[in-house]
Amino acid sequence: MKKTLLRGALPLCLVAVLMFSGACASSKNDLSKWKDEEPFKKEDISKYISLGEYKNLKVDDSRLQKVENNDFVIFDFEGTAPGISEETLQNMKAERYDQLVVGSGEFIPGFEEQMLGQVVGKPFEVKVTFPEDYAPEGDPAEELNGKEVTFHCLVHEIPNKAANLAIQAAYETVTLIKIPEREKEMYLKLFNAQAESYGMTEEELMEEVGGLEQWTAGIEERIAQEMFVYAIARQEGLESTQAELQVYLNRVRESNPGVTSQEILDQSGGKNLLMRDLTREKVIDFVYENAKNKK
């Protein structure tokens, strides 16, 4: 079984393009019911997956302090360059910036690559040359076009890294027995609905996802991850509740005025999948809190 980190695992939009289906239109009622029910309702997960050790796991401290690709980092940066106005320089600095995933390409080309391998708490410099067309004519930032700038940086922390390493270690001990046929069937039907929404045939979308073998690997991996999470959740009393789901929906609605709870559920793939996501976060935090050598 392929092992991958679970925090932020395959969102529905990615799952949709990994699936293949022979589901017919008459199956939509079954899918609607599944999307609206609680996760793994009436399923004895022990028939499908066997847990290994998930408490007192050792976290590899040597990896916790170094920036790696796809790390979410919290860091300071301040740009300096001769001949640049104070106003522009002020716009090139931040303290405890918390919006960067290294490798996402959000920053100037070359910036994020130079962050790789840097150590938490140790100052470092990043030197980049701004593109010639970085800012249009008349823009105050136009003075940066083609300019070499040195950024003085300091990474404060790499949130969730230790938690991801802990859950990864726990997942490595899992023994997969088999995949529930009903789960696979429902994901197949999700694909069918997705193809229809795109105005495509199943065969056309199949060509884009890379083939049946790729779908099988991707979707069975997702189901295995979800069963792993729920096996721990049920054993430790961590399953997400209706009340927690409502709190989440209310929070999203507050930050997105005009959006209804049903629209949020629809965009998330239904109550079933959203509650799986909420439970996953609780399980990851639990495993991390019970790991040894955590920071």
> What single-letter amino acid sits at 142?
E
Condensed to tens digits (0 to 9), the pLDDT of residues 136-152 reads: 999 999 999 999 999 99
pLDDT of residue 162: 77
Instruction: Give the single-character DSSP code of 55.
Output: S
Closest CA to 117 of 129, 103, 131, 128: 103
Strand partners for 125: 152
Condensed to tens digits (0 to 9), the pLDDT of residues 174-208 reads: 999 999 999 998 988 888 888 888 888 877 887 78
Rounded Cα gap, residues 162 and 59, in angstroms: 7
CA distances from 218 to 25, 51, 191, 288 (A): 24, 21, 13, 25
Strand, helix or coil at 73? strand
Q: How many whole angstroms from its chain centre is CA 257?
A: 24
Report the topology of domain 66-157. Answer: Chitinase A; domain 3 (3.10.50)
Which CATH architecture does the domain made up of 12-60+162-289 adopt?
Orthogonal Bundle (1.10)
Identical topology for domains 12-60+162-289 and 66-157 = no
Tokens for 11, please give them: 């969102």
Q: Write down the pTM of the prediction.
A: 0.68
DSSP 80-135: E-TT--HHHHHTTEEEEEEEEETTS--SSTTTTGGGTT-BTT--EEEEEE--TTSS
Rounded Cα gap, residues 31 and 83, in angstroms: 62
Instruction: Give the single-character DSSP code of 143.
Output: G
Tell me the helix, strand and coil percentages in the chain, rounded to 5: 45, 15, 40
Domain ranges in the chain are 12-60+162-289, 66-157
Reported confidence tier of residue 164, pLDDT bands at 50, 70, 90: confident
